[in-house]
Amino acid sequence: MDFLGFQLRNNLFVAPMAGVTDRPFRQLCKKLGAGLAVSEMVTSNSLLYGSAKTRRRADHQGEVDPVSVQIAGADPAMMAQAAKYNADNGAQIIDINMGCPAKKICNVMAGSALMQNEPLVARILCAVVAAVPDTPVTLKIRTGWNRDHRNAPGIARIAEESGIRAIAIHGRTRADQYMGLAEYDTIAMVKSQVKIPVIANGDIDSPQKARFVLDYTGADGVMIGRAAQGRPWLFREIEHFLNTGDMMAPPQVAEIHRILRDHLADLYAFYGEETGVRIARKHISWYTKGLAGAAHFRHAMNQMPGIDQQLAATDEFFLGHAAANECLQHEHRSDEHVEEMRAA
Ligand SMILES: Cc1cc2nc3c(=O)[nH]c(=O)nc-3n(C[C@H](O)[C@H](O)[C@H](O)COP(=O)(O)O)c2cc1C
């Protein structure tokens, strides 16, 4: 796919997820089939303090091109400054977050709360686009403020007029948080009204669902977040299905073990032992979901303070399952949803 002048291997995007889509996870998803991975957001004011966390988030060494960095904030001048800082530090695409309902963000009128104030949206977008004239700027939004105010089409038009080059839409309103199911009608409406690429997001958790959402919305690509947690190979499964119409066999436990082992090595190298072990716990938990005895294993693993113990416990767990030649069963809660929407 040609995306803003970059050649991507496909139209599958990893959704930005604070605390999840760090460099090791983005690299892994790209290796396993994602076309582009948006990094965790870097708040515009935190850049000024240069904390270790912010510096790590801005570390893109060795990352597969293009590097897309998300910024969040509500002040046009600070957002412009953040965009410039990130572009000067290796970002090849700047993504603006107006999709996140987190209290921490919305209380200061940023993230999805901004969608309530269209004139401010326009000022922010214009300021950011002007600050990085050589770097494409993209926007991530929800469908609106609440179900009575689904103003994504209006925001998308403002975005297009402001020089935004692509837009990703999560099919829920801010008020929905993560409740209910994502809807795709608003995304389809936006797609029919703007010329810039539209990326559809929300509850895509299987190859069939990705096919359905692409067909239903006419979107140029799909963005996947939670379903890729502990399951980064979902991207290659979707890629394969979109290319061939056939489902790829799910990975064997031995392969999952190998993928997880590589992921852990990257996490330890990126964060160091103490933070690496802590961050690794949630990923290990996600990878083991659906395997017998996972809850007990997770509880024990969460008490282990160091790399050696964490690795030994992980090896023991996976080798036991590999010996039994077990296959991971993932629930695709949305497959029923696809059937319902097709029938409607
Ligand atoms: C743990 C977590 C952190 C997230 N952080 C961000 C963020 O920093 N910026 C953003 O735009 N969206 C963020 N999101 C929203 C996701 O990018 C995505 O829009 C949402 O999860 C819906 O997609 P999904 O159903 O594929 O998960 C986050 C979501 C989760 C679950």
- Sequence-distant (6+) residues with CB within 8 A of 51 are none
Residue 331 scores a pLDDT above 60: no
Helix, strand, or coil (residue 183): coil
Element (H, E) at 49: helix 46-49
For the chain, domain boundaries: 2-244, 253-343
Half-sphere exposure of 96 (CA within 13 A, CB side): 41
Helix, strand, or coil (residue 341): helix
What percentage of the chain reaches a pLDDT higher than 90?
A: 75
- Sequence-distant (6+) residues with CB within 8 A of 268 are 276, 277, 280, 307
Of 56-60, 66-70, 179-183, 263-267, the least confident = 56-60
CA 226 to ligand 1: nearest atom: 27
CA atoms of 290 and 20, how far apart (whole Å): 20
Higher pLDDT, 165 or 289: 165
Predicted confidence band of residue 106 (pLDDT cuts 50, 70, 90): very low
Residue 112 scores a pLDDT above 60: yes
Q: How far is the CA of 91 from the centre of ligand 1 (A)?
A: 20
Of 73-77, 202-206, 267-271, 328-332, the least confident = 328-332
2-244 and 253-343 in the same fold: no
Helix, strand, or coil (residue 306): coil
Q: Quote the pLDDT of residue 53.
A: 78
Q: How far is the CA of 225 from the centre of ligand 1 (A)?
A: 6
CA 20 to ligand 1: nearest atom: 1
Please tell me the residue having the least CA distance from ligand 1 atom 7. 17
Average pLDDT value for the chain: 90
User: Considering only the top CATH level, what class is 2-244?
Assistant: alpha beta
Query: Which of these, 252, 170, 247, lies nearest to 207 by C-alpha position?
Result: 247
CA atoms of 290 and 306, how far apart (whole Å): 25
CA atoms of 173 and 151, how far apart (whole Å): 9
Lining residues, ligand 1, CB within 6 Å: 15-20, 40-41, 70, 97, 99-100, 140, 170, 201-204, 224-227
Name the H helices within 132-252. 152-162, 185-193, 207-217, 234-244
Which of 64-78, 81-95, 129-143 has the highest mean predicted lDDT (pLDDT)? 129-143
Residue 110 scores a pLDDT above 70: no
Higher pLDDT, 295 or 109: 295
Please tell me the residue having the least CA distance from ligand 1 atom 22. 202
Report, at the CATH architecture level, how domain 253-343 is classified. Answer: Orthogonal Bundle (1.10)
Q: How far is the CA of 178 from the centre of ligand 1 (A)?
A: 9
Q: Taking residues 100-123, what's their average pLDDT?
A: 75
Q: How far is the CA of 73 from the centre of ligand 1 (A)?
A: 16
Instruction: State the pTM of this model.
Output: 0.93
Catalytic residue among 100, 106, 126, 327: 100
- Within 10 A of 327 (CB to CB), how many other CB atoms are there? 14
Q: Quote the pLDDT of residue 77.
A: 94
100 is annotated as an active-site residue: yes
